[in-house]
Structure 1
Amino acid sequence: MMRQWHLADRPVGRALADGDFRLAQVPMPVAGAGEMLLAVRWLGFEPAQKGWMENFGGYVAPIELGDVMRGMGVAEVVESRDGRWPVGTMVAGMTGWTEYLVSDGEGFDICHPDLPPHAMLGVLGIPGLTAWHGFHAIGRPVAGDVVVVSGAAGATGSVAGQLAKVAGCHVIGIAGGAEKCAWLTQEAGFDAAIDYREGQVAAQLKALAPKGCDIVYDNVGGMVLDAMLARLAIGARVVLCGGISRYEQGGEIAGPGNYFNLILRRARMEGFIILDEQPRWGAMRDRLAALVLAGRLQWQVDEQQGFEAAPAALARLFTGANRGKQIVKV
C-alpha cells in the first residue's frame, strides 16, 4: 500500500483548510511493459495549485473531488520494464501528491546532472521558467531599465529580479518583512527593496523610481499592482505573472484602479501561462543552469519534511511563511 493526498473540498473565496485534502491508502501501482515505477522524492508547491483546486481559470483540466491532488514532483525510477530510463534515474514532472506512480516517461524530464534534483522544482522548474519567459519575452529588457518586481523574495520573483540585474537593469523588489528584503539586497543583488508590510508602497516606489519604472513584473495583483501602475515610465511593459492576493477572494476580482495610466504612459500590460511555452523549456533551462553554475543566480529552498506535510506546505505560500521555493522531501 502507499499514500496519496486527494482533493476533498474547493477553497473558493477562503484560505486553505485541513478539510480540503484527504490522506488515502491505496494499492501500489504495477508497471507494465515499457513503463517505469517512480518513487516520488520531492514535491513542489505553486500558488496556482489553489486556483486548480477551485477550478479557476480553465487553462488546465479540472481536478475533481476525490482526485489525486495535482502538483509537480521529482521522482526516482525504482523499477523499469524496458522503460525510457534505467533504475536510479531522477526525473521531474507532474507527479501529483502520491508516493509512487507508473509512467512511460511522457511529460517528465531528467534532472540536471550538476545541480540538486529538486532544482527542477525551483530555479530550473516552473518558477525559473516563468521568470525567464515573462522577463525576456514580455518585459523585453534594455540595459539601464528600471525594473520593479512584486513577490520579489518568492521562487519566481527572485529569479526575475536577478535576471534583470544580469541584463544590466536597476532592480527594486517588493516583499513582505525585513528578513526577505535584506536577502534581496544582500544576497540576490537587488538595488533596493520595499517592505509592503510597512505600508506606503506607492510613496516608497516614487522615491526609489522618480522617473518611473520601465518594467513591472507582477506576482501579487491587488493594491501592490495598483501602486506599481502609478509609477510607469513612458513605454513601460507590465508583465502579469500571477496574483497571489486574489486567492482568498470570492466572486469577481476587482480590476486595478490605475489602469488608465497604461494609456497615459503608452504602456503595455500582458499576461501569459508558462505551460504554453513547453517546447522552449529545454533552452530556457540550459540558460538558467548556466547562470546558476556561474554563480550569477542565487536561489533559496524552503524544505519541509514528510509526505504528510504537503497540505501545510502549500498553505505556507499564502501566509508568507516560506523562504524561496517551497518543497517537501517525501
Structure 2
Amino acid sequence: MSASGAADAAGAAPHGTTGARSPAARVAIVDDARGEFVDAARSAGAEVGPLSAATRGLIWTASEGEDDLEALLAEYQGISWVQLPWAGVDAFAGLLERHRGDGRVWTSAKGAYARPVAEHALALVLAVLRELPRRARTDRWEADERGRTLFGGRVVILGAGGITVELLRLLEPFGVHATVVRRADAALPGAARTVTEDRLLEVLTDADVVVVAAALTPTTRGMFGAAAFAALPPGAVLVNVARGAIVDTGALVAALGSGRLAGAALDVTDPEPLPPRHPLWTAPNCLVTPHVADTEAMTVPLFARRIAVNTAAFLGSGDFVGRIDLDAGY
C-alpha cells in the first residue's frame, strides 16, 4: 500500500468508547485512499472524506511513518480508533507505547493475511527440505541422494497467531507431529502439543523443521539465537516468515556454515533489506525471498475486508478484529 492521498468518515465519540455511533461517523483513510478501501468503509456505513476536526476514525495505510502518524494524532485529537495496515506492528512500537492508556482503540491486520503467508511458509519448508536452493544454483547435473520428505516430520512452530492456525491446516495432509510454542500453553487445533516459550530449547531437540511465525516483541527479539541452534538436532531446517529480528542472524550464518543446520528459508531478514554480499546470499542451502509472502495483489482485498469489519465495529455493529493489546505490544 503506497502513499497517495487521504480520505475521511465521523460522529463524535470520546476515546475508548465502542458503543453505537452515528451512521455519519467520519473515518479518514491516510495516505492510500484507493477505491477498494473507501468502498469498504462506506459499505460499513461510514462517511469517508478528508481529515478534519470531525474525524473520529483513522485508517492508516502506510507500512511505517510513526512520526507522521504521531503528528497527525496530535493535530486531530478527536480520533478514537486507529486501524494499522499490517499484522506486525513493531514499526509503531514506540507510538503504541506512548499512547497506552489514552483510551483510543487500536487495531491491526492481525490474521488478515494469514492464508497467503502460511502458503508461502509451506512452500519454503518444502523447498529447503528438497534442497531446491542448492539445486537451483548449480550449473551441472548432480544426481545425489539428498533431500527429505515432510510426511511424518516433527515441526516446531514459534507463535500461535493466524499464520500458525492456517499453517497447521495446510500441514494436516502431511501427518506431521506439530508443536506450537507460545506465551500460553492453551491447546491449538492441529498441534500435537502446545508449550510456553520457556520450553523452546526443550522442544527443539527432536525438531526436523522449525517455522518462525511469532510477533516481534521485546520478548521474542533475538529469541532464536545460538542456544536455540545448538539445541536443534543435526539436519534440522529453519523457515522464518515473521520478522527477521526474532532470529539472531550471526547465529544463523554460523549454524549454516557449520553444516549443523541443513538449510534455511527466509522471507524476512535482519537487517532488511538484506544487503548485497551478505553471507546469507551464498550460504549453503539458504533461500531468501524479499518479504513477499503476501504481495499487494493478495493484501489489498484482504485489508479492505478488515476495514469493512472494523469500521462496522467502530459504528457499533459487531466486535473489532485484530485489536492490539498495548501491554503485550501486538
- Which TM-score band (shorter chain)? 0.3 to 0.5
TM-score (norm. length: structure 1):
0.45
Higher Cα Rg, which structure: 2
- TM-score, normalising length: structure 2: 0.45
Per residue, is there more strand in 1 or in 2? 1
Which structure's relative contact order is higher, taking Cα pairs within 8 Å and 6+ residues apart?
2
